[in-house]
Chains A and B, each alone.
Chain A
């Protein structure tokens, strides 16, 4: 397999104690001996990937679902199933406040986890109730404190701008607790979720307002906005998520997980695959493949990279894709920068306002497509 060594791995744990009404991730309640079957298949899948991509890993992310909802022996089995060296890696585990206690945290520590991402959402009981969360304010506070006491790099998820929410109070609470990373999401109502059915569509003006407030309150506490929805003390950014936004390669394990690996042929830059949902994944069904040509990879890199406060290094993209990026983009970049929408430093570009990226992305895409017309039709590869 060509390309640089695989450094990042995402592992999906689909089980949840309750299903949140805004969630569109691949989640299921646990039943029968499904977790056992899951762990068995996971071990198999991990071995296969490891043979091709032996690492070592710099990041491992256990997302869900609610990975912390697994029982202790299941968590142990899960880590046993991963043959990679993770000693130097950032190892994040997503957790729900109700699923943590000092004992459990100790075990996680032992297994190699060093970062906890807590799905707090809010510190207000009424908001948590609207969200259908299992925990309340007390549970949220306790979980954050425990995680910090146990020495984990701790990140919390906050939701912004729900009806009846005092956003400022939630943000202030987060800074008071001393977390070093906050993911603050405006409510994204996905089609088909119960929230969508209730017509809870957010309005862009109040979303922008809430984000501005988050930027102010968290910024004052030393957590800088480094991505559209993410804030961190410098040096405490999520290395794993940065890999996505820099459009790197990563492996994906588990049902519904997505991975992106280097392509096997010159005109296929990358292959993105998505595993089938749990029942079919357990039966060994193949993932869905999407071949990404160099031009498409570039377009995605712009779309993702502009979400970062530091923006995109076009020179790096040129090196990676082998395409002429700068000449294609220069006219658009100059124009956008004269309109005050882009900030240009040598060959690095960043958006002046992280809230409004679409017109910028579309204009840059236009430049790329003009310069590199008619991308090669990607062909289907034999089993990947």
Chain B
């Protein structure tokens, strides 16, 4: 049976049509009937569907009858397609033997194509290049195949031309999976070694880890041990993934992909990347490469209604179950009350977490502007980490501030190199190297992470008409001339609005933020001054004028219903605001820093 298993993932640059191709494979292996077929079958989160991107890895088992007449088990593990989710991609890849590397036939190779390719290479995986979307008018499949050969070193004749949309070429892909991807190794008699590549939470069953059995086997009744925590659980059920359902089976053998229930209650006991083995007969070592996910961006999340604090904590705990990268700890803000400082993989991750909290848990939240982690050397020799700009000590206590840098790789057609260099200079980037691959250029820079956090990707896309793409990895800390800018609303400093900026940029950003705040804070019954300050020195100010009239001129019998609805709507709007002193401040205000200092 083991030699009839094929485990594979699909990797691609975002928007290259990965999910559509996965859907088509599901349909052509009859895993889902045409009737059940809905677009992006694997993307089950409501949010994923809406945004058209895959956020979470997800798995499915398919049966495929090859042209030679043999039946194979395919385990398809879908991977996130965004640069924020690199660790999840790497764990998903650990669970398979081969990948379909999908490249858009009109866009060609992009930065994430390359990054994902190298990830797959590290795992020594078989790579099947698929040139996708060949049905589109702008498709240049042959050129792209040659580019794949030139840039990635995969012979062009290994490329399969396909369209997830029309289904063209998909049968060839299925045959290639059988022919080119090796069956999983591993021995049924060896001690159990199973890799957790994802997990979900179920109200009745607790944490359900998704595993790939590397060695040995697992069945109900087994006593298992979680490697990193050492905790022991008794397996209740094991099973596999069928489209839309978790299907119990008698056992999971080597090479198989499935799930386990074992009354696991704590999130920490099923972290992505961890290893499960048997309590009595453990394996020698865990599957290598486990690392607790490291958040790199921090933001405060606060309930708009202070009474929701406990609900927010419960919601975060549940989310963390299948989002190993999310971290959070309680935090108190003078302005916002009790909330949590949350760590994220990136801005998109932060946005998604907030949206999921609001949608799936029905919470109204205020989030503060995301910030990177600064390291500060104090005059007394002590070194501290700053997760929240408002925690930055007074300048006289600071010896030096260090900011995180990333190694940024931009991949672009050559005509945009000039303007991209200019953008990177503005972002305080230091050029590493640059080389030409055909008519494309790979530019490598060291850039302060905080500088590319907000709008860098958008600006890169817009100045290159969508052609340039990027990828980055953390690259240590460097000293910077940084200052804390405080924001005062109605003469009171608002800790949640403080930010850290390079001293040459602080004035400009401060100016823009107070202007932006004056724009988004609704007029109240009194004038509200908004100020930006460095230390005790005011560097910018603006005023929200007092609202002198809000009533409608006419309100007679026939207007009551409409007028009341109008007010009810205002009331709903107010719920999304936070009262700071006497001033109602809307969510946008806390994100004002995102849109400031950008040109």
Contact = CB atoms under 8 A, between A and B. Distances in A.
Interface of A: 10, 185-188, 204-205, 207-208, 211, 228-229, 241, 244-245, 250, 252, 256-260, 272, 274, 290, 296, 299-300, 303-304, 307, 339, 341, 353-359, 361-362, 365-366
A188 B551 CA distance: 10
Contacts of B285: none
A208 B557 contact: no
Interface stretch (B407-415, B472-480, B495-503, B558-566): B558-566
Given A257-B558, A272-B560, A356-B548, 8 more contacts: A204-B547, A207-B549, A208-B548, A252-B557, A252-B558, A300-B564, A303-B560, A359-B550
A260 B582 CA distance: 38
Given A341-B525, A362-B571, A354 B561 contact: no
A268 to B, nearest CB: 15
Contacts of B570: 358, 362
Contact of A355 (B550, B555, B556, B564): B550
Listed from nearest, the 3 A-B pairs whose CB atoms lie closest are A208-B548, A258-B558, A185-B553
A123 to B, nearest CB: 19
Contacts of B574: 362
A241 B551 contact: no
A117 to B, nearest CB: 12
Nearest to A290: B561
14 contacts: A185-B553, A186-B553, A188-B553, A204-B547, A207-B548, A211-B549, A228-B555, A229-B553, A229-B554, A252-B557, A259-B557, A290-B561, A304-B555, A362-B574
Given A341-B525, A362-B574, A355 B558 contact: no
B571 A188 contact: no
A205 B547 CA distance: 7
Given A257-B558, A304-B555, A307-B555, A357 B564 contact: no
Contacts of B525: 341, 353, 356, 359
B552 interface: yes
Contact of A356 (B549, B553, B555, B571): B549
A22 B144 CA distance: 61
A10 B549 CA distance: 29
A229 B550 CA distance: 13
B554 A185 contact: yes
Contacts of A353: 525
B563 A303 contact: yes
A259 B564 CA distance: 16
Interface in B219-264: none
Interface in B518-556: 523-525, 545, 547-556
Given A341-B525, A356-B547, A362-B571, A10 B560 contact: no
Contacts of A256: 558
B567 interface: yes
Contacts of A208: 548-549
Contact of A307 (B523, B551, B582): B551
Contacts of A355: 548-551
Nearest to A360: B525
Interface of B: 523-525, 545, 547-558, 560-561, 563-564, 567, 570-571, 574, 582
Contacts of B564: 296, 299-300, 303
Contacts of A307: 551, 555
A253 B63 CA distance: 71
Contacts of B558: 252, 256-258, 274
A339 B583 CA distance: 13
Contacts of A188: 552-554
Contacts of B556: 241, 244
A303 B567 contact: yes
A357 B550 contact: yes
B490 to A, nearest CB: 14
A354 B551 contact: yes
A187 B552 CA distance: 9
A250 B561 CA distance: 15
Contacts of B523: 204
Contacts of B524: 359
Nearest to B573: A362
A304 B560 contact: yes
A343 to B, nearest CB: 15
A198 B552 CA distance: 20
A217 to B, nearest CB: 17
Contacts of A10: 557
Contacts of B582: 339
B548 A205 contact: yes
Nearest to B523: A204
B548 A204 contact: yes
A114 B340 CA distance: 67
A100 B563 CA distance: 33
Contacts of A241: 556
A31 B557 CA distance: 28
A366 B556 CA distance: 24
A360 to B, nearest CB: 9
A110 B95 CA distance: 95
A218 B525 CA distance: 25
Contacts of A361: 567
A89 B253 CA distance: 92
B561 A362 contact: no
B304 to A, nearest CB: 14
A2 to B, nearest CB: 20
Contacts of A356: 525, 547-551
Contacts of A290: 561
Nearest to A157: B554
A186 B552 CA distance: 8
Contacts of B557: 10, 244, 250, 252, 258-260
A272 B552 CA distance: 21
A225 to B, nearest CB: 12
A272 B556 CA distance: 13
A238 to B, nearest CB: 10
B551 A358 contact: yes
A204 B553 contact: no
B77 to A, nearest CB: 47
Nearest to A307: B555
A355 B525 CA distance: 10
B437 to A, nearest CB: 53
A361 B525 CA distance: 13
A126 B574 CA distance: 42
Contacts of A303: 560, 563-564, 567
Contacts of B554: 185, 188, 229
